[in-house]
């Protein structure tokens, strides 16, 4: 967790010492997102990936408006997963033509917004395409359409598989030819393909394998459809390390593989924009969830540190979001950095449930009431992915620093 | 799931056919809570439990203000877990002296609100009691205090253990005598004990065993402290069935056991009010989560039904709230009741994540776009215990019917 520097015993968030940041925010708990870390993440990706690859930000990872506005000029496009995210995207500096909308079960009202906005609609089923065509014919807005493909292979080592086998996502690869007549309707402006295989992957080798599969599948579908692809969105799914033993994903082999694939498929995709769409990988390590110690107690030989934040604000850190076995997120006493650590303690939130656990049996410097507890890797799927009204405690704030 | 009647193919919510209710609410998804079911739950409990037992509602299970107002005249008191819940409780018809506030890590501002309200503060640690005394001395509001005890035994068969062993909850039973001097401070009005062992328990035998342990422990502590107990809150934790094979908790053996305990400890607790505090058991089976089918698709031999609601509104039903192995909640096609069922289908929400699953391989009548999907047992820990901003989809509404 070296993305944040320290000065003395203070953790620095974009050079602001944590105690000063707490004073500036005016309350705990809060989420803080470090602009310099986000910028560095994007710069490093840009430096390593082939120049031809376009980089999109998947807003769902963190839809804080100020953060979207900060990222917008640094990326080539945005992906949205709901109409509220679409509004955020249109409010940013990104051109609507560089915005795509994915998600099974889009409502008519959402599709209508997408049509009127001129964004790309990632079609998830034949029925959805028919609804888009009907809405387009009614409204006169031509539909910019890409097909989301459920590939005929699976991504290995993925935290969450989103392609291969039977899925609610996308159109089965082998069924794409059936909808060619729909793509040829005059109201449809066919733009390309979206092939996404899974998220939170920390294995460069399996991402490379997925990329090979995606390029081959896209070339095959292009041949079947005999339509040009203005773009090919190869998804993202680059993971970040959360737990002991996990390491930062190495982009270099992925970049090398992509360079090779761009050369290999040069004739098929000469005029095709290849897009990588990343959420967590751009912002996940830039975020901290910050709370303050309200009580410390002993119970039958164990020490419990109780903070003013918890699972209601950060469900994933409590181990209750998609994890089968709970593991500790990286946690620090942010006003006591670089101090020797002592006996194991357990850090819990204020809720009346044993699920409200932020650190189980971890070793820290001596903790006192008032100390500041920071949970790392909290920039993605934290604030919005938590049941913030559970037990009706005060809401956290989000700040971009 | 016979708490809701049907008429023809319509599920009835307090006699309103589901399609009429959908029209009346004006949108899907929504949560609907049936007044008649709640009333019946409370009436049945009252009929079975000894008359001396007082019944409190734990607001955390469902803090919808209209629902609290409906329940308030039917119960003897309310339990709150945060300052927002305290405000709801004070807004209801329940007297502040019948409101108690539990939870580790209460902030000074919350304790101050509790003192000014005249409610009972369930003390969770020695340090918290010291803070209450200091605040009471500063403000002049005498503190109505009960001790939450971490018992020296565990509740068997509980969905979540909240007593026994080392815990963040309450004061270890064996350490209570140490704080007697604090309880004798003039600013402290000692009221009694709160001994809660765990939640979502479906075994009457293990609840009876816990009650025996609680009475014995309370009698022992009373003797140690040599203080009268105005009340003894024996917690709740009565479970409701969610999954195949689970059955409704039989109250009769619990009532019989409590009658015996009241007689056995008649001399110790002659002037003590014995309180059972229930949340889920009063409202859980009265709630439905209602969504509508937006798309149906085939993928590699499986049928996926996509609805406009999902895990973001009902985290527990998706299997992502405290469950280790995902199981299906009871689900019905609420406008196609009493019809023969067909092949298995999977019902998912609209989110771009495989976690967004409401029914995996369940059999229903033939489903069409527009049909109404109702998830039962959704009256507790649904709306507030879900990450409702995850992917920024439209919010559900709550209605009391």
Classified as helix, coil or strand, A83 is: helix
Strand stretches in B249-286, DSSP E = 273-278
Cα B188 to the center of its chain, rounded Å: 29
- What is the per-residue pLDDT for B321? 86
First to last CA, chain A: 18
Flag if B103 and A350 touch (Cβ within 8 Å).
yes
Between A197 and A208, the more confident residue is: A208
- What is the per-residue pLDDT for B154? 78
- What is the per-residue pLDDT for B156? 74
Flag if B126 and A297 touch (Cβ within 8 Å).
yes
Classified as helix, coil or strand, A148 is: strand
Could you tell me the pLDDT band of residue A287, with boundaries at 50, 70 and 90?
A: very high
Chain A hits for B172, CB-CB cut-off 8 Å, are: 299-300
Average pLDDT over residues B330-335: 98
- What is the per-residue pLDDT for A324? 77
- What is the per-residue pLDDT for A322? 78
**Rounded CA separation B149/B173 (Å):** 6
Tell me: the pLDDT tens digits for B79-123?
A: 999 999 999 999 999 999 999 999 999 999 999 999 999 999 999
At residue B142, does pLDDT exceed 90? yes
Could you tell me the pLDDT band of residue A321, with boundaries at 50, 70 and 90?
A: confident
Could you tell me the pLDDT band of residue A121, with boundaries at 50, 70 and 90?
A: very high
Average pLDDT over residues B223-245: 96
Average pLDDT over residues A34-58: 97
Q: Which residues on adjacent β-strands are paired with residue A145?
A: A121, A190
Q: Which of A60, A352, A394 sits opposite B103 (nearest CB)?
A: A352
Q: How much of chain B is helix, strand and coil, in % rounded to 5?
A: 35, 25, 40
Which residue is it, tokens 């105005």? B230
φ, ψ of residue B196 to 5 degrees: the values are -125, 135
**Rounded CA separation B51/B291 (Å):** 41
Could you tell me the pLDDT band of residue A155, with boundaries at 50, 70 and 90?
A: confident
Average pLDDT over residues A319-340: 93
Cα B267 to the center of its chain, rounded Å: 32
Every domain of chain A with CATH number 2.40.37.10 lies at 6-32+285-400
Show the tokens assigned to B107: 């902030």
- What is the per-residue pLDDT for B164? 79
Q: Which of A105, A301, A354 sits opposite B294 (nearest CB)?
A: A105
- What is the per-residue pLDDT for A198? 86
Write down the CATH number for the domain with range B6-32+285-400.
2.40.37.10
- What is the per-residue pLDDT for A302? 97
The DSSP result for A350-380, as a single string, is: SSSSTT-EEEEEEE-SPP-TT-EEEESS-SS
- pLDDT, averaged across chain A: 96
Flag if A125 and B297 touch (Cβ within 8 Å).
yes
Show the tokens assigned to A193: 């393909």
Flag if B166 and A128 touch (Cβ within 8 Å).
no
What is this structure's pTM?
0.96
Q: Which of A392, A394, A395 to mutate to test the interface with B (most CBs of B within 10 A)?
A: A392
Query: B19 at the A interface (CB within 8 A)?
Result: no
**HSE (side-chain half, CA atoms, 13 Å) at A271:** 7
At residue B17, does pLDDT exceed 90? yes
Across the A/B interface, how many CB contacts are shorter than 8 Å? Answer: 206
- Least confident range from A178-182, A197-201, A304-308: namely A197-201
- Least confident range from A229-233, A248-252, A279-283, A319-323: namely A319-323
B349 to A166, A387, B5, B321, B346: CA distances (angstroms): 16, 17, 26, 16, 10
Every domain of chain B with CATH number 3.20.20.10 lies at 95-278
- What is the per-residue pLDDT for B344? 97
Average pLDDT over residues A141-155: 93
Q: Which of B367, B390, B398 to mutate to test the interface with A (most CBs of A within 10 A)?
A: B390
CA dihedral angle for residue A70, residue A71, residue A75, residue A77, rounded to 10 degrees: -100
**Rounded CA separation A288/A37 (Å):** 11
Share of chain A above pLDDT 70, in %: 100
Average pLDDT over residues B16-38: 98
Question: Do B130 and B163 contact (CB within 8 A), yes or no?
Answer: no
φ, ψ of residue B39 to 5 degrees: the values are -60, -45
The DSSP result for A93-139, as a single string, is: SS-GGGEEE--TT--HHHHHHHHHHTPEEEE-SHHHHHHHHHHHHHH
Average pLDDT over residues B382-392: 96
Residue A178 burial (C-beta neighbours within 10 Å; 0-12, 13-18, 19+): exposed
- pLDDT, averaged across chain B: 96
**Rounded CA separation B31/A114 (Å):** 28
Could you tell me the pLDDT band of residue A131, with boundaries at 50, 70 and 90?
A: very high
Chain A hits for B167, CB-CB cut-off 8 Å, are: 299-300, 304, 354
Question: Do B148 and B122 contact (CB within 8 A), yes or no?
Answer: yes
Could you tell me the pLDDT band of residue A398, with boundaries at 50, 70 and 90?
A: very high
At residue A340, does pLDDT exceed 90? yes
Show the tokens assigned to B125: 């640690």
Show the tokens assigned to B153: 């035994």
Chain B hits for A166, CB-CB cut-off 8 Å, are: 299-302, 304
**Rounded CA separation B205/A245 (Å):** 44
Tell me: the pLDDT tens digits for B337-349?
A: 999 999 999 999 9
Write down the CATH number for the domain with range B95-278.
3.20.20.10
Share of chain B above pLDDT 90, in %: 94
Could you tell me the pLDDT band of residue B198, with boundaries at 50, 70 and 90?
A: confident
Angstroms from B330 CA to nearest CA on chain A = 21
- What is the per-residue pLDDT for A278? 98
Share of chain B above pLDDT 70, in %: 100
């Amino acid at each position: 967790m070296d993305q944040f520097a320290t000065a003395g015993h203070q953790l620095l968030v974009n050079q602001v010492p944590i105690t000063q940041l707490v004073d500036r925010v005016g309350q705990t708990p809060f989420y803080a997102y470090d602009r310099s870390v986000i910028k560095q993440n994007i710069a490093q990706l840009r430096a390593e990936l082939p120049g031809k690859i376009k980089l999109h930000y998947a807003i769902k990872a963190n839809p804080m408006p100020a953060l979207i506005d900060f990222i917008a000029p640094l990326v080539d496009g945005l992906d949205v997963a709901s109409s509220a995210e679409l509004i955020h995207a249109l409010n940013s500096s990104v051109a609507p033509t560089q915005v795509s909308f994915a998600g099974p079960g889009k409502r008519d009202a959402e599709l209508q917004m997408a049509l009127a906005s001129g964004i790309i609609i990632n079609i998830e089923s034949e029925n959805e395409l028919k609804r888009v065509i009907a809405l387009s014919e009614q409204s006169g807005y031509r539909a910019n359409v890409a097909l989301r493909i459920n590939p005929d292979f699976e991504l290995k080592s993925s935290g969450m598989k989103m392609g291969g086998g039977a899925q609610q996502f996308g159109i089965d690869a082998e069924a794409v030819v059936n909808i060619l007549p729909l793509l040829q309707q005059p109201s449809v402006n066919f733009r390309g393909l979206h092939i996404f295989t899974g998220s939170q992957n920390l294995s460069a080798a399996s991402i490379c394998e997925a990329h090979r599969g995606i390029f081959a599948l896209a070339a095959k579908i292009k041949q079947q459809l005999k339509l040009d692809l203005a773009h090919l969105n190869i998804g993202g799914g680059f993971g970040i390390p959360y737990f002991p033993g996990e390491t930062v994903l190495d982009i270099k082999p992925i970049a090398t593989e992509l360079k090779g694939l761009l050369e290999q498929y040069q004739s098929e995709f000469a005029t095709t924009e290849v897009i990588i769409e990343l959420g967590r990988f751009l912002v996940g390590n830039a975020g901290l969830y910050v709370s303050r110690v309200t009580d410390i107690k002993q119970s039958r030989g164990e020490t419990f540190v109780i903070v003013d934040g918890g699972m209601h604000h950060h469900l994933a850190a409590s181990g209750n979001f998609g994890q089968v076995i709970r593991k500790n997120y990286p946690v620090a006493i942010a006003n006591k950095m670089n101090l020797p650590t002592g006996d194991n303690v357990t850090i819990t939130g204020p809720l009346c449930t044993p699920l409200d656990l932020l650190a189980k049996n971890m070793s820290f410097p001596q903790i006192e009431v008032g100390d500041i507890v920071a949970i790392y890797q909290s920039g993605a799927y934290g604030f919005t992915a938590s049941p913030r009204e559970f037990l009706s405690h005060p809401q956290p704030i989000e700040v971009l620093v």
